[in-house]
Amino acid sequence: MRLWKHSFAGKTLVFAVTAASCQAFLLLGYDQGVMGGIIGANNEFGQDFNHPDADMQGNITALYDIGCVVGSIITYFVGERLGRRTLLILGGSIMIIGNAILGPSYTVGQLIVGRIVTGIGNGMNSSTAPVYLSECSPASHRGVLNTFQGTVTILGVVIAYWPDYGLSFSSSSIQWRFPLAFQAVFAILLVLQVIGLPETPRWLVQRDRLEDAKTTVTALLGTSEDDPKVTGTLLDIRSVVEKEHKGGPFKFKELFSIHGTQNFRRLMLTISVQFGQQLSGSKLIVRPLSTSTSSLCNMLNYYAPVIYQDQMSLSRELSPILGGCTEVTYLVGSVLPLFVIDKFGRRLLLMFSPAGLCLCFVMVSILLSIGSRGTAYGATAFIFLFQLFYPCTSTGLLTLVQMASGASTRYRAKVQAISSAWNWMFVFVVVKVTPIAMQNIGWRTFVIFAIQNFLFIPMVYCFYPETKGLELEDIPLLFHKGGITGGVFTSRGKTVVPHQHAQQQQIGRDEKTDNEVREVEDRA
């Protein structure tokens, strides 16, 4: 039953769409955080799987990211054909299958297959959910709603942490089977939520299903079909879609266009923000601390005991407690952008946050280089401060990625899929390289991430336009000035005003009407 066709409209429907999209990211967060707390060589997991060495533990965990890359690639090829809603249902269903493989695993091979299958479903969801939400949400709240997806992702990591920690004291296979199987609950809820929701109006218009699009827009606005807002919204969407499809079927080379709305520039923006997010040091702090339980030999989490025990001289018993507290701090920090992103914009947050991260890493480097117990506690304090700054980058990037890739209906799903694939590839590289760096150069690894965060500030200032308050149809106007910085510095980075596309469409309609009147007068 489609709930939205039975008095389930307006803000209630937008809330339901938001809840479904956030469910996908809650599942993403849980799936990212769950393995680190259970994998190990000497715990129950290690005994059941013949004490896997550090390299095998790393492969079990990291191959999930490869599955996510595959899922993103699948989305690239079938996303536009199937639609946002159908793809979310498919992605959730694949994750259910993956969890069914993981829970009863008895061999490392079965475990790896389950991780890869789960990753494929998650890659499809992470490529689709932001597009689905953006195409169904009003511009005035799109920033907050997309940012909330990042907050929910962190909530998923927190939820995964505490069952891992509590069950780490168990001496039976439930120590790892229950956390792995429990994620199926989130996947089932995702499928059930999306089944009762509509497809996005922009995808429906793109498929020439105009009546369905009109019904969906009416439901999302919570008004009647003859409301001028419905007519205006549909006209804007149709005009953009018709303009974008004048060139015939999509060709891959179109993504490399540097003219008009600059598809290649927008593609590079989506990839670069993923690059910046993963090189912000999040995997150095967020992932290891969120998963540093008794499985202290985990290859991916090797640097957690290095930071806590060897370099900070903190006890093995205290480390996992600090990990949980760090995650709670991270969750609190993720709420802060919800109140400021639509007020101050994306650009300011994307410059402010890396500056804070850079400061934290500089101070941690200095304090750890001294090597005393007192400075170790000081370094711990800056790690907690990191958790307040980082969500502004991660959630802000999520929003800006969606704004950049969501500007064109013709390419939106494809660009989002490419962006997601690059994100998961960066994740795979960082989680494999970082522990090696920590093992060989220790606290100097923080210096590398401090430099990378510092370099991200001028990159945002020079290349990223502001998208606050803009309709998806307005965003192509940001790139019409050409060049790699075209229009970025106009009005502090804002090159268009909200609803400028609609205003231009109205001017075009008025001019067309005037021309028709003159033609009639001339014939008379």
Average pLDDT, the chain: 77
* Residue 219, domain member (yes or no): no
Whether residue 515 is predicted with pLDDT greater than 70 in this model: the reply is: no
Most confident of 239-253, 257-271, 493-507: 257-271
CA atoms within 13 A on the CB side of 181: 10
* Residue 521, domain member (yes or no): no
* Residue 497, domain member (yes or no): no
Considering its fold, how many domains does the chain have in total? 1
Radius of gyration of the chain (CA): 24
Going by C-alpha positions, the residue among 216, 344, 358, 332 that lies closest to residue 280 is 358
* Residue 212, domain member (yes or no): no
Contact of 200 with 136, CB cutoff 8 Å: yes
* Residue 498, domain member (yes or no): no
For the packed helices 54-82 and 108-136, what is the interaxial angle rounded to 10 degrees?
40
Residue with tokens 């993403």: 28
Confidence of residue 289 (pLDDT cuts 50, 70, 90): very low
Distance CA 100, CA 163 (A): 19
Residue with tokens 């520039």: 265
Distance of CA 505 to the CA centre of its chain: 32
Name every residue whose Cβ is closer than 8 Å to that of residue 104 and which is 6 or more positions away in sequence.
177
| The Cα angle at residue 338 between residues 337 and 340, in degrees rounded to 5 | 60
Going by C-alpha positions, the residue among 217, 310, 162, 243 that lies closest to residue 473 is 243
pLDDT tens track for 459-485:
888 888 877 777 666 777 777 777 777
Q: DSSP assignment, residue 486?
A: T
CATH number at residue 165: 1.20.1250.20
Q: DSSP assignment, residue 420?
A: H
Q: Is 106 strand, coil or helix?
A: coil
- The pLDDT of residue 318 is 66
pLDDT tens track for 27-83:
988 887 787 677 765 778 888 888 887 677 777 877 888 899 999 999 988 888 899
Contact of 258 with 483, CB cutoff 8 Å: no
Distance CA 96, CA 184 (A): 5
Instruction: At 357, list the tokens.
Output: 């991260």
Whether residue 296 is predicted with pLDDT greater than 50 in this model: the reply is: no
Distance CA 191, CA 181 (A): 16
What is the phi/psi pair of residue 260, to 5°?
60, -120
Going by C-alpha positions, the residue among 39, 124, 61 that lies closest to residue 87 is 124
Secondary structure (DSSP) of 63-125: HHHHHHHHHHHHHHHHHHHH-HHHHHHHHHHHHHHHHHHHTT--SHHHHHHHHHHHHHHHHHH
Amino acid at 42: N
Secondary structure (DSSP) of 163-223: HHHHHTT--STHHHHHHHHHHHHHHHHHHHHHHTSPPPHHHHHHTT-HHHHHHHHHHHHTS
Which string of b and e fits 420-455 if b means at least 16 CB within 10 Å?
A: bbbbbbbbbebbbebbebbeeebbebbbbbbebbbe
- The pLDDT of residue 87 is 95
By residue range, what is the domain housing residue 333? Answer: 3-196+233-241+253-477
pLDDT tens track for 374-397:
787 788 888 888 888 877 766 555
Whether residue 508 is predicted with pLDDT greater than 60 in this model: the reply is: no
Whether residue 163 is predicted with pLDDT greater than 70 in this model: the reply is: yes
* Residue 460, domain member (yes or no): yes
Dihedral (C-alpha) 162, 26, 286, 462: value to the nearest 10 degrees? -170
* Residue 155, domain member (yes or no): yes
Distance CA 203, CA 206 (A): 5
- The pLDDT of residue 5 is 59
* Residue 205, domain member (yes or no): no
pLDDT tens track for 297-336:
233 333 344 455 555 555 556 666 776 777 788 788 877 7
